């Protein structure tokens, strides 16, 4: 994909997001993932990790109740409970427990601040995903779904394998609305295999 085309596409989703009242163009990524894989079901309860400014939460809240978590603050949204906290910290998990015990899907668009050192950024992205998976294992109902953004690289295959062992169907997905062809990919996992 040429740079020119990437810019055009980015601009297109930015304008569409404004027009349709979404807080971020990333809303379209979740819409595309959900149109294809049906990860959000009507009447469900969901945890949205790395939720600010709220584009994914806006989409998920149309299906059911959302508990959203981010390091950064987020403006209130209907049907969304917001927790400001670090998803890698136990205290944040305890706060989530204060609102939900079991959920139908855990979705994570969390990503580290980009340092420019790809090896480091990739490792941080995988660390965030490890923690998102931990939260998924803690809260998902049997049969529940998990979506997680990850930067491709050295640690990606082993993380993907780990997810494969815990879900019935796992697909790496690059949504059309992603900014670049590059490194960003979403792992879409359905049918959590609950051991307990
Ligand atoms: C791409 S943005 C998310 C956009 C959001 N999904 C939306 O549609 O509006 C990534 C977010 O991940 C958050 N984040 C990164 N590391 C985090 C962590 N350890 N705990 C909680 N949030 C984190 C960042 O603060 C940032 O807001």
Domains of the chain from N-terminus onward: 3-192 (3.40.50.150)
Residue 170 phi/psi, 5° resolution? -135, 125
Q: Whose CA is nearest to atom 24 of ligand 1?
A: 50
**Which one, of 134, 108, 116, lies nearest residue 183 by Cα?**
116
Q: Can you tell me the mean pLDDT for 72-91?
A: 98
pLDDT in tens, 105-131: 999 999 999 898 989 999 999 999 999
Ligand 1 atom closest to the CA of 109, numbered from 1: 6
Banded model confidence at residue 196, pLDDT cuts 50, 70, 90: low
Pocket test of ligand 1: the residue of 71, 93, 178, 179 to mutate, having most ligand atoms within 8 Å of its CB, is: 71
CA distance 37 to 23: 23
pLDDT at 51 over 80: yes
pLDDT at 141: 98
Q: Whose CA is nearest to atom 7 of ligand 1?
A: 55
pTM: 0.94
State the burial class of residue 125 (Cβ atoms within 10 Å of its Cβ: 0-12, 13-18, 19+): buried
Q: Can you tell me the mean pLDDT for 74-100?
A: 98
Ligand 1 atom closest to the CA of 88, numbered from 1: 19
pLDDT at 60 over 60: yes
Each residue of 152-175: b (16+ CB within 10 Å) or e?
beebbeebbeebeebbeebeeeeb
Does the annotation mark 149 as catalytic? yes
* Ligand 1 pocket, Cβ-based, cut-off 6 angstroms: 23-24, 26-27, 50-56, 69-72, 86-88, 109-112, 128
Ligand 1 atom closest to the CA of 54, numbered from 1: 9
Q: Can you tell me the mean pLDDT for 29-47?
A: 97
């Amino acid at each position: 994909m040429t740079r020119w085309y990437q810019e055009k596409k980015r601009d297109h989703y930015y304008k569409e997001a404004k027009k349709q009242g979404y807080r971020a163009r990333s809303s379209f990524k979740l819409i595309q993932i959900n149109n294809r894989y049906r990860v959000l079901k009507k009447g469900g309860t969901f945890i949205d990790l790395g939720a600010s400014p709220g584009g994914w939460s806006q989409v998920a809240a149309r299906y059911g109740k959302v508990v959203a978590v981010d390091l950064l603050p987020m403006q209130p949204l209907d049907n969304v409970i917001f927790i400001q906290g670090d998803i890698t910290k136990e205290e944040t998990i305890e706060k989530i427990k204060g609102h939900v015990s079991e959920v139908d899907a855990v979705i994570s668009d969390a990503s580290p601040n980009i340092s420019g050192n790809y090896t480091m950024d990739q490792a941080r992205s995988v660390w965030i995903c490890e923690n998102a998976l931990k939260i998924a294992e803690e809260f998902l109902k049997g049969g529940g779904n998990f979506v997680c953004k990850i930067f491709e690289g050295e640690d990606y295959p082993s993380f993907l394998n780990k997810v494969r062992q815990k879900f019935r169907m796992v697909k790496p997905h690059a949504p059309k609305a992603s900014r670049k062809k590059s490194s960003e990919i979403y792992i879409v996992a359905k049918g959590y295999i609950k051991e307990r």
